[in-house]
Structure 1
Amino acid sequence: MRLLNSSPNAPYSTLFHWLFAAAALVIVLGGLKAISHIVTPFLLAGFLAIICAPPLGWMQRRGVPGPLSVLLLFSVVGLTFFLLFLALKGAAESLASQAPVYQARLSGWFVELEAWAKTRGLPEEMLPTELPWPATATITWLAREIATGLGQFTASTLLVLLAFMFLLLEERTLSDKLSAAFPNRRRARVRARRFLRSVLRYLLIKTAASVATGLLVGIGLAAIGVDFAVLWGIVAGLLNFIPTIGSIIATVPAFAIALLGLGLTEAALVLALFVVVNQAIGSIIEPRLMGRSLGLSPVVVLVSLLLWGYVFGPVGMLLSIPLTMIAKIALDSSPETRWAGILLSDTAKRR
């Protein structure tokens, strides 16, 4: 009798449950956006701490004292950040000084194309009087603003590095704290360790693949003779965290600079370089190292970019796929939520 009375209300209860969950998610995302200036440094520091956990453990197993090993990693990561931003700032300033040259070449191509079209009998009213690109001063101003913003961001990375150092100090005792806090929940601790291992494996492989992509692209572009090869290599490495879309975005500026500065042959070589590097690393090496499919649906990739970009800004767009992958790994680690992980995946295989 109770079953008969309760079953008609079951669909409404389920609908209310999902509406409540969606409302809670919107509130949480809105709160994160409001404090994004606080959360973003800790997100970056968290990713750095996860990636640096293996070398930290290796040094401690070799007898290096804990504080000293943390200080060494802090120095290495801080120096890497400093050199990275220094290279980006120098490339942006060089781009600002050479922007008028590239725009003048593009204008000359447009004049030649217009003259060729007139010789072929194309009516003048069908030809555009000017191309819809920004003025030279606008391009120069934008490049200088980027350089200035990078300099300001370099100062704000001190907070990221400090948070990174304290997270490394906390990592040494985290396992013992979890065991002491939850002594009777062994299954939960096993799931948590499995989840952390999966996250660590993904971030290590993805970071190594991104570094390799940036190095190969930068070296290849320098060999071809493309201007600002270091800048395009760094951009290619950073955007490698975003599957498919990132590699396309990274290819466009390097291809355009090669076309304007060198010629059609060199531009074709640049395009071939990006295709070979991204296919070799993204389609062959990464899947083999992962050991199993950790792909995301293309729709999920797009939604992740929009969602995390809205919440955390440009840094959120850069971290959108790692954040979504961590959520997917967390969903896959529990039988109760594995269905959601399958929906986020790019395959329909049940793991």
Structure 2
Amino acid sequence: MSESRGIETPVAEKDSSGTKVLISLAAAVIVLFGLSRISSIVGPVFLAIVLTICVYPLKQRLVLRGVPAAVATVSTILAVYAMIGALVASLWVSAVQLTQLLPQFAPQITELRGDLMVFLHDTLGIGNDQVRALVESVDLRVLLDTAYSLLGSVMNVGSGTVFLLLLVMFMSIDATYFPTILAVVKEKRAPVVEALGNFAKLSRSFMVMTTIFGAIVAVLNLILLLALGVPGAGLWALLAFVCGFIPFIGFWISLVPAAIMALLAGGLPSFIAVVAFYGVINSLIQSIIQPKFVSGSVNLNMTLTFLSVIFWSALLGPLGALMAVPLSLFARAILIDSHPQSAWLRPFIGDVTESKAMLAAQRAAAKTAKVAKGEKARKSGQESPGV
């Protein structure tokens, strides 16, 4: 009887463990579905949190310099309002400019459609029906409808902007008590407080550095587009700045419309110049220099970063793509960093500090062994003539 119980107990434990996994997965699906249904609320709320985190050091510095806390709070709120207002105004002006630009290039778009049909049919051997279906997607009316839809979305963003501004104001006021609240909570939930503090530091670093490098890329692109005489240069530069917050995919989103407009306005030479310059700048700044300041600090590997853009954009829309890295950092803080028993998962998502040290040690050992082997071979070669 005791033997049968001993045999049944592991099976029961295994069944219980599997049930817990299934329940957890089901709960996760329900939560994610709920978030997608209220994405218009979740997105602005998280953006407000990140913006408040980014400007909080400004408030601290003002208070340390003797500025009254109320004045410091109002100053940080106004700073965020200025950034949001400038971005929304730029988007509105750019959308209006886009609707004005497209009709001017109707002849060029028609000519481009004809050249594309000839190339696809004569050079690549694609059938007429397939070519016609593909080229019809380049119809000016489709592009105009898209542009007007974009303009309508930007003009209707007012209510969302007001909601965001109110959130930032309330969070900035409440931030006065954050240090004391965290100090109280830390006595009972130290790992949670440390995880949230780390999330705030990494999110602030990512947003600040991405803003700086995005501005540099946007200015350089603007100079090139103006030099080539590409219409809407400011619009494409703004698009490059915004897309800088979208890892890997953002570059292509900013490149395609600028390159097409360069092709319509200046022909193939302008098109090649834009593609080449964008490629060089992106490779140099956003793929080589920026990761040295950002990727290593946030400890997210490239695969997870790419998948996070896809995941959060599917869940929360465009704002999810822009906030993909901070959202992933927050999810890691809640699900992994706040639970010491889950620390073993960190290397799988990008924390390779120990792996780098181990790899460096292995390379050093291999180099030492190679030197020793060479030294041994040299000595044996010197001794052989005497023998």
- For the aligned pair, the TM-score class normalised by the smaller chain equals 0.7 to 0.9
- Could you give the per-residue CA deviations for residues 247-273 of structure 1, whole angstroms, max 9, x where no partner exists? 112111111111111122222221222
Q: Secondary structure at the match of 1:133?
A: helix
Query: Aligned to 2:152, which of 136, 148, 154?
Result: 148
* Superposition deviation, residue 115 in structure 1: 7.6
Inter-CA distance 260–346: structure 2 relative to 1 (3 Å threshold): farther
Distance in 2 separating the partners of 1:93 and 1:344: 42
Alignment of 1:103-122 (within 5 A): 103-111=106-114
Counterparts of 1:89 and 1:243 in 2: how far apart (Å)? 24
Q: Which runs of 5+ in 1 are unaligned?
A: none
Q: Of the candidates 13, 26, 42, which is equivalent to residue 23 of structure 1? A: 26
Query: Match for residue 301 of structure 2?
Result: 296
Task: State whether residues 296 and 345 of structure 1, in contact with CA within 8 Å, keep that contact through their aligned partners in structure 2.
Answer: yes
Among 246, 249, 252, which residue is 1:245 paired with?
Answer: 249
Partner of 2:231: 227
Aligned-partner residue type, residue 342 of structure 2: T
- Compared with structure 1, are the counterparts of its residues 242 and 231 closer, same or farther at alpha carbon in structure 2 (3 Å cutoff)? same
Larger radius of gyration between Structure 1 and Structure 2: 2
1:66 pairs with one of 46, 65, 69: 69
Aligned residues: 349
- Per the alignment, do residues 346 and 179 of structure 1 end up closer, same or farther by CA in structure 2, a change over 3 Å counting? closer
Q: Which amino acid aligns with 1:340?
A: L
State the Cα distance separating 1:89 from its structure 2 match: 1.9
Q: 1:271 aligns with which of 268, 275, 290?
A: 275
Instruction: Provide the rounded CA distance (Å) in 2 between the counterparts of 1:155 and 1:198.
Output: 30
Query: Measured at CA, do residues 314 and 119 of structure 1 come closer, stay the same or move farther in structure 2, by a change above 3 Å?
Result: closer
1:145 to partner: Cα distance: 2.4
Q: Distance in 1 between matches of 2:316 and 2:33?
A: 11
Contact 1:82 1:154 in 2 (8 A): no
Secondary structure of residue in 2 paired with 1:226: coil
Larger deviation: 61-70 or 289-298? Answer: 289-298
Which of 76, 79, 82 is residue 76 of structure 1 equivalent to?
A: 79
Q: In 1, are the aligned partners of 2:195 and 2:333 still within 8 Å (CA)?
A: no
The answer on whether the counterparts of 1:96 and 1:143 sit within 8 Å (CA) in structure 2 is yes
Question: Which stretch shifts more, 188-197 or 16-25?
Answer: 188-197
Shift, 1:69, TM fit: 2.0
The percentage of counterpart residues that share the same residue type is: 26
TM-fit CA distance, 1:25: 0.7
Question: 1:191: how far off?
Answer: 4.6
| Cα distance in 2, alignment partners of residues 271 and 254 from structure 1 | 9
Aligned ranges for residues 252-331 of structure 1 at < 5 Å? 252-290=256-294, 291-292=296-297, 294-298=299-303, 300-301=304-305, 303-328=307-332, 331=336
1:63 alignment partner, SS class: coil
Checking the alignment, whether the CA contact within 8 Å between 1:40 and 1:312 is kept in structure 2 is yes
- The structure with the largest helix share of the pair is 2
